[in-house]
């Protein structure tokens, strides 16, 4: 009976993995089928020569190049803001927080992780109103406000992944460096964090994906359809998630709809590049630590 149960669980696990794999392949295949034909310089740059667009000699209004650059800038800025705060808070939760404060903060961060993005977007929108009243004509919906709102949205994932990674370090390894005279900070930065870097990277990758795909937050805090390339942190910008939402809800013909599928492929490509870059950075740091 027990052997049959184990075999059934194994079979169910394999079936679940196969179902997920088939679903992902189906989605990717469907996107490539609908939007693969649009991938090219026309989709990115429209009627502008690629070199002129890359050198910023001419503005691109009928291509996705500004939205692609805006997405890159938004994700990098938001994750760059969230990583130091998330790592610091996760270290505090794992190494310094007392029992009661840890329980309270754990519940708080779990609630924040489940907070609807539209609520965060409304909070960011309220912030822009306050800033606009304090600094009339100088600051409003912009790339910086969107990045701050997105960083708040992904912060709980970074905090909890860092906390759980550090708490999973074996006790024998945790006590080795202090036994040799290392301070608590040296133990954290030279032993605990390098040992659990791949687990922490998982939280970073999750944060990158969350930052790249969100539409509700940026829709209320600074993104517009035809803003062009973001010239500064205090300017409005374009982003692929908002373009996909906009074109899928207001397309007028099949060509525009295919552009939406092409934008989805570009968004997945950007996420893949960011994921690969994060993995490469983690492997480089791990190699240097092992040396």
Phi, psi of 223 (to 5 degrees): -85, 140
pTM for this structure?
0.85
Phi, psi of 179 (to 5 degrees): -65, -25
**Confidence band of 291 (pLDDT split at 50, 70, 90):** low
Mean pLDDT of the chain: 85
Domains of the chain by residue range: 54-290
pLDDT tens-digit map of 82-97: 999 999 999 999 888 8
Architecture of domain 54-290 in this structure: Orthogonal Bundle (1.10)
Q: Which residues, including other chains, have CB under 8 Å from residue 262's CB and lie 6 or more apart? A: 35, 36, 38, 39, 43, 64
Asked if 36 and 265 touch (Cβ cutoff 8 Å), the reply is: yes
Angle (nearest 5°) at CA 216 between 62 and 238: 25
User: Which among 274, 262, 232 is positioned nearest to 46, based on CA atoms?
Assistant: 262
């Amino acid at each position: 009976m027990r052997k049959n149960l184990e075999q059934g669980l194994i079979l169910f696990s394999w079936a679940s993995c196969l179902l997920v794999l088939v679903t992902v392949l189906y989605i990717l295949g469907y996107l490539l089928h609908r939007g693969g034909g649009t991938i090219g310089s026309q989709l990115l740059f429209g009627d502008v020569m690629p070199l002129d667009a890359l050198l910023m000699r001419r503005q691109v209004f009928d291509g996705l190049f500004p939205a692609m650059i805006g997405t890159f800038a938004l994700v990098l800025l938001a994750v760059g803001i969230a990583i130091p705060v998330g790592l610091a808070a996760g270290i505090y939760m794992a190494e310094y927080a007392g029992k009661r404060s840890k329980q309270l903060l754990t519940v708080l961060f779990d609630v924040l992780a489940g907070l609807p993005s539209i609520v965060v977007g409304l909070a960011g929108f309220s912030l822009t109103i306050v800033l606009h009243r304090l600094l009339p004509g100088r600051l409003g919906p912009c790339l910086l406000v969107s990045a701050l709102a997105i960083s708040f949205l992904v912060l709980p994932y970074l905090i909890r992944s860092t906390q759980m990674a550090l708490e999973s370090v074996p006790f024998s390894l945790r006590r080795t460096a202090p036994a040799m005279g290392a301070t608590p900070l040296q133990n954290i930065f030279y032993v605990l964090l390098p040992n659990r870097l791949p687990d922490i990277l998982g939280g970073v990758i999750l944060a990158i994906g969350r930052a790249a795909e969100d539409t509700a937050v940026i829709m209320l805090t600074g993104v517009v359809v035809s803003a062009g390339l973001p010239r500064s942190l205090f300017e409005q910008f374009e982003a692929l998630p908002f373009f996909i939402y906009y074109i899928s809800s207001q397309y007028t013909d099949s060509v525009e709809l295919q552009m939406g599928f092409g934008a989805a492929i570009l968004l997945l490509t950007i996420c893949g590049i960011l994921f690969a870059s994060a993995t490469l950075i983690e492997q480089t740091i791990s190699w240097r630590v092992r040396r």
